[in-house]
C-alpha cells in the first residue's frame, strides 16, 4: 500500500468505487422488487433490453477508449460514475488542462483533470439542489413547450460546445476542416444520429486526417 504509485492508486480506487457505484445502482431496482415481492419475467426484460443494448452497449465500450485519452484515468473513472460526460465533464476537464498547459497523459494532466471533474460534479450537485428548491414553483412555466424560453433550452449544449470548440478550431483550423465536414455530412444524411455515435466517429476521422496531413506536410504550411 505504501509503495503504490499515483497511477496504481488511481486505478485501484477507480475500479473499487466504480464497482461500488454500479452495485448501488443495481440495488435500487432489486430493493424495490424485494420490497414488493414482484420480479419481472426474463423474457420481458430481454424484450425491453435488447433494442437499448444494441446501441448503448457498443457505444459504452467505445466511449471508454474515446474519453480516456482525453480525460486521463482518474477523470474517466470519476466521469463514468457521475455521468453527463459529453455535456459537462469533458468540457471542464479539457478546459482545465488547456489553461494549465498540460496533457491528459501526463501526471499533472491526470491530477488537474480529476480535480476539475470532481469540482464540476460537486458544483453541479449543489446547483441542482438549489435549482430544485428555488425554481420548482416556476420551472413548469419556463420549460413549457409554449414558453418564450423553450428555444433557449434546446440550444444549451450547442452553445456550450460552440464556445469551447471555437478556441481549438482557431488554433488548429486545418485539423478541424475534415472532421467537421464529415460530421456535418453524417448529420445531413441522418440527423438523428446519437452523440455517442458521432463522437467516436469524429475521433477516428480526426486521427486519420491529422495523420495523413502530417505525412503530406500540409500542417507545416
Q: How far is CA 122 from CA 24, 87, 163, in A?
A: 19, 15, 23
The angle, 0 to 180 degrees and rounded to 10, between the axes of the packed helices 90-100 and 156-171 is: 30
Task: With respect to residue 51, please indicate whether it lies within any of the assigned structural domains.
Answer: yes
- The answer as to whether 102 is a domain residue is yes
Rg (CA), the chain: 21
Q: What is the pLDDT of residues 117-162, one digit of tens each?
A: 999 999 989 988 998 888 888 777 777 778 887 787 777 777 777 7
The answer to whether position 175 is within a domain reads no
Average pLDDT across the chain, whole number:
83
Residue 71 lies inside a defined structural domain of this protein: yes
Asked whether residue 150 is domain-assigned, the answer is: no
In a domain, 216, yes or no: no
Residue 101 in any domain: the answer is: yes
pLDDT digits (tens, 9 = 90+) for 6-23: 888 888 988 998 899 999
| Domain with 109 in it | 1-136
The string of pLDDT tens digits covering residues 177-195 is: 998 899 889 888 887 777 6
pLDDT at position 94 over 70 = yes
Q: Which residues contact 108 (CB under 8 A, 6 or more apart)?
A: 100, 102
104 DSSP assignment: T
User: Would you say residue 33 lies in a domain?
Assistant: yes
- The structural domain count of the chain equals 1
* H/E segment holding residue 213: helix 195-216
Q: What is the DSSP string of 181-202?
A: HHHHHHHHH-TT--HHHHHHHH
Amino acid at each position: 500500500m505504501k509503495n503504490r504509485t499515483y497511477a496504481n492508486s488511481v486505478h485501484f480506487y477507480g475500479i473499487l468505487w466504480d464497482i461500488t457505484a454500479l452495485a448501488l445502482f443495481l440495488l435500487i431496482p432489486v430493493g424495490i422488487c424485494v420490497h414488493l415481492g414482484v420480479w419481472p419475467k426474463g423474457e420481458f426484460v430481454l424484450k425491453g433490453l435488447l433494442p437499448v443494448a444494441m446501441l448503448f452497449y457498443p457505444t459504452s465500450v467505445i466511449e471508454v477508449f474515446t474519453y480516456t485519452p482525453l480525460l486521463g484515468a482518474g477523470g474517466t473513472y470519476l466521469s463514468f460514475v457521475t455521468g453527463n460526460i459529453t455535456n459537462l465533464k469533458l468540457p471542464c476537464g479539457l478546459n482545465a488542462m488547456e489553461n494549465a498547459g498540460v496533457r491528459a497523459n501526463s501526471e499533472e494532466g491526470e491530477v488537474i483533470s480529476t480535480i476539475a471533474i470532481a469540482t464540476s460534479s460537486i458544483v453541479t450537485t449543489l446547483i441542482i439542489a438549489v435549482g430544485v428548491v428555488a425554481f420548482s414553483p416556476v420551472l413548469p412555466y419556463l420549460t413549457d413547450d409554449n414558453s418564450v424560453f423553450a428555444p433557449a433550452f434546446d440550444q444549451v449544449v450547442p452553445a456550450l460546445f460552440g464556445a469551447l470548440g471555437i478556441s481549438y478550431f482557431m488554433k488548429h483550423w486545418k485539423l478541424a476542416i475534415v472532421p467537421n465536414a464529415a460530421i456535418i455530412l453524417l448529420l445531413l444524411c441522418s440527423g438523428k444520429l446519437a452523440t455517442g455515435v458521432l463522437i467516436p466517429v469524429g475521433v477516428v476521422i480526426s486521427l486519420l486526417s491529422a495523420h495523413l496531413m502530417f505525412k503530406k506536410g500540409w500542417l507545416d504550411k
